[in-house]
Structure 1
Amino acid sequence: MKYWMIVVLSLLLALPARAGVEVREVTSPGGVSAWLVEEPSIPFVALEIRFRGGASLDAPGKRGATNLMMGLLEEGAGSLDSQGFARAAEALAAQFDYDVSDDTASVSARFLSENKDQAIALLRLSLVAPTIDETALERVRGQVLAGIRSDAQDPNAIAGRAFDALAFGDHPYGSPLEGSAETVQALSRDDIVAAYRGLLARDRVHVAAVGDITEAELGTLLDHLLGDLPAAGAPMPAPVQPMLSGGTTLIDYDTPQAVALFGHQGMARDDEDFFAAYVLNTILGGGGFESRLMEEVRVKRGLTYGVYSYLVPKDLAALYLGSVSSANDRIFEAVEVIRAEWARMAAHGVTEEELTRAKALLTGAYPLRFDGNGAIARILVGMQIEGLGTDYIATRNARVNAVTRADVNRVAAELLRPEGLHFVIVGKPGKG
């Protein structure tokens, strides 16, 4: 392992798990806002930058352009080629990561305080002056195509693609953000540049910094790093209503174990009942071995190693999803047990004992998320994206504890739609 990586990892591991963090809002002289948790005890800074829009900004027929563009940001910038950029980052003991989801594009930076100015200057090059040269484009395109070919043989990926297509059709949510082999092959450098210009803009950026940096230093950093980005990016896509109806879609695929992805419409993150839905899901399928689905499908009947449910409040739509895998000759039985448990909770709600246990799980595990500067920075940016206040960390557990059994049971009756569950099954269902 490279020396700089050992230094950075040792700093990360030295940070205590903590939820009692003080979050301050900072506005740069140029008007860029960010959230800051100042922690000067260790000479290390984590910076998280997130651009709203993500891969959903792909133009029609250009699916995969944003994903490919994000993969090119560190493949040469300014006068540096790909290897030169990597060597410069290594020499500074800096680490940069670029990622994309349907709703956001993320840039994560980790650097030592003593190298702050040089690290930010290098990161800035990747954001405002990426070269996007043809050689790097073809190399990254090949990597993306290899991933697409791999996903084409992965039952879980097959199920996910089919489910998304059923739910969202021609909306960007309806296809993989990586694109298809056909769309990725057809992308030109001009398409990548258009995706870059449409996404990396100041009107959709959210920033968090955690570590050895002051408010004044952060303000100066923000203007230098982001001040030359365009003021506005491409228009955001319109919200979409999931087009799901109850039923089952079977995809014949030769695999020893069938997999199923299931779900229906969910709940938006800003809904006043979201905390009740969150507790509800913990009891139903989000609480690991403590959940009802795990008890009924795995423990009692031995139909699976794992079954889970999860709320998916995207920016432009909300789903309530679940997943399970089982032997081909038993997957239909697992599906029926899930439907029955969905209906039972909708009709009869939860017990007081289940509610108490779920609250203890959710509140007890929450501080463990704050296990380093990088994790805290990611949480803070996520809070901004979701429209939460800087006091959320301090009040979150109280909000969980405020949920009553009556709240959960009311939401269960409204949210859970057993007749609307759609299952996409990939495998040889019914065959031993």
Structure 2
Amino acid sequence: MNLAETATRTATSPTQAQPVATTGGIEAWHVESPIVPMIALAFTFEGGAAQDPEGKAGCAQMLARLLDEGAGDLPSDAFQERLAARAIELSFHAGPDAIGGSLKMLLKHADEAVDLLALALAKPRFDPDSVERVRAQTLAGLRYQQNDPGVMASRRFFKEAFAAHPYGRPSSGTTESIAAITRDDLVAMHAQILGRGAVKVAAVGAIDAARLTEALNRSFGALPEAGPLRAVPHTTVQDLGRRVVVDLDVPQSVIRFGMAGVPWRDPDFIPAYVLNHVLGGGAFTSRLFQEVREKRGLAYSVGTSLVSHRAAAMTWGYTATKNERVGEALAVIGDEIGRLISDGPSDEELQKAKDYLTGSYALGFDTSTKIAHQLVQIAFEGLGMDYIARRNDMVAAVTQADIRRAASRTFADGKMLVVAAGRPTDF
């Protein structure tokens, strides 16, 4: 029997995920769903841009972009034609702490899709013409971004927030670092990161446990054990209270601001998540949206989010406003943070935040691909297979005391690192 044969009908809820393991030590979380004859696979390898060689930022991102640019005996064009002929969707990406990817295919093409994934993972070619094409595309993108205030503000923010740390380097690299990356660098990083013991996998769709075990062996079984990763030291946001300008001749300044955070694996993450929803994560209902945009018309958009990396966490925010109103916008943002520090949210605000966060959670699981990506991220964070089932109860249980504790850890005294790309006049 091959992978394209029929699957047993089981529940399709992500809360029904089951563990699957191969004799070679590859583990996956599995949700069987025979309703649509498709399979979605998501996977993540430990180690990402934080492992870039010194002076060669962007290496992990180039590696991810090159994995499907030819593999085994198939050069780039032939490999892509094989994917297109079967409507197989294969992609790779790199983040600060991981290189990951996804595979989506019709059940009848599962065997060929799995074989192509296995080639891309274990036998990428890194042909010179492909390397130079991806390098040229990356450099063109970097040059274009030099005129993008949002990109320049974000890059400078991370450089200042995590100075002398791997997280302070741009994951897409610089024109100098991209030019310095060699094929040998790519081969070495591939051997370092893409290994059997470093991968988390989730599979959703019309495939049973036996067929998935076979697919895991074929996809990942040929990989060697990954090489040792360099230790990434834990760090926090630096220079709180400092304001930095990236000089760009534009009429509107793009602003990035940040302070301490709580990692996803921390018991206080859920209270911090609810608190962030009240401050700036709640789209149209958040305090910052109401005060900065609706009441004062200072900005079109404003918001905050929680960032959780392996070795750092932060609360970070964004907005953009006229150069002459930057100081006013930052004052309003600071005032709202100060009010949450001193008074916290009202009981009504807290309840509305919890109601929204619990009610909207299911929207992140409305496709097989979304379910697979959510599951693999939860596995990567080590939160446990029952996290999805537990998550809403944890949100609903958040109290005002939890909010105050989270505020003391994230907001502290209210000082922020702020970067503005533009020419603010009252900064």
TM-score band by shorter chain is: over 0.9
Aligned partners of 1:407 and 1:317: how far apart in 2? 21
Give aligned pairs, total. Answer: 414
Match of 2:142 in 1: 148
Match of 2:111 in 1: 117
Query: What aligned pairs does 1:44-63 form with structure 2 within 5 A after superposition?
Result: 44-63=38-57
1:76 partner SS: coil
Aligned partners of 1:71 and 1:251: how far apart in 2? 30
2:42 partner SS: strand
Match of 2:383 in 1: 388
AA aligned to 2:272 is A
Structure 2 contact 197–226 (Cα < 8 Å) conserved = yes
The reply to whether residue 225 of structure 1 matches residue 219 of structure 2 is yes
Moved over 6 A (4+): none
2:189 partner SS: helix
Match of 1:135 in 2: 129
The reply to whether residue 244 of structure 1 matches residue 244 of structure 2 is no
Identity over aligned pairs, percent: 42
Match of 2:265 in 1: 270
Aligned partners of 2:407 and 2:357: how far apart in 1? 18
1:329 partner SS: helix
Per-residue Cα deviation, 1:242-301 (whole angstroms, up to 9, x for no partner): 323212112221112111100112112121111111100000110011111111111111
Query: What aligned pairs does 1:302-381 form with structure 2 within 5 A after superposition?
Result: 302-381=297-376
Match of 2:61 in 1: 67
Match of 2:7 in 1: none
RMSD: 1.4
AA aligned to 1:392 is Y
Per-residue Cα deviation, 1:87-107 (whole angstroms, up to 9, x for no partner): 111122211011111111111
CA displacement at 1:418 relative to structure 2: 4.4
Aligned partners of 1:352 and 1:198: how far apart in 2? 50
Structure 1 contact 251–425 (Cα < 8 Å) conserved = yes
Query: What aligned pairs does 1:170-319 form with structure 2 within 5 A after superposition?
Result: 170-242=164-236, 243-319=238-314
Structure 1 contact 261–425 (Cα < 8 Å) conserved = yes
- The match for 1:415 among 410, 417, 421 is 410
AA aligned to 2:367 is G
- The match for 1:406 among 398, 401, 417 is 401
Per-residue Cα deviation, 1:336-389 (whole angstroms, up to 9, x for no partner): 111111111111111000011101110111111111111100000010011111
Match of 2:85 in 1: 91
Aligned partners of 2:14 and 2:231: how far apart in 1? 37
2:109 partner SS: helix
CA displacement at 1:20 relative to structure 2: 5.7
Gaps of 5+ in 2: 1-11
CA displacement at 1:236 relative to structure 2: 3.9
Aligned partners of 1:108 and 1:290: how far apart in 2? 34
Per-residue Cα deviation, 1:281-323 (whole angstroms, up to 9, x for no partner): 0001100111111111111111111110111111111111011
CA displacement at 1:419 relative to structure 2: 4.1
CA displacement at 1:162 relative to structure 2: 1.0
Structure 2 contact 262–409 (Cα < 8 Å) conserved = no
AA aligned to 2:86 is L
Match of 1:5 in 2: none
Structure 1 contact 46–110 (Cα < 8 Å) conserved = yes
- More off after superposition, 246-255 vs 369-378: 246-255
CA displacement at 1:64 relative to structure 2: 1.1
User: Residue 20 and residue 180 in structure 1: after superposition, are their counterparts in 2 closer, same or farther (change >3 A)?
Assistant: closer
Aligned partners of 1:280 and 1:50: how far apart in 2? 29
Structure 1 contact 349–413 (Cα < 8 Å) conserved = no
User: Residue 189 and residue 306 in structure 1: after superposition, are their counterparts in 2 closer, same or farther (change >3 A)?
Assistant: same
Aligned partners of 1:234 and 1:179: how far apart in 2? 23
AA aligned to 1:338 is I
AA aligned to 1:420 is K
CA displacement at 1:180 relative to structure 2: 0.7
CA displacement at 1:79 relative to structure 2: 1.2
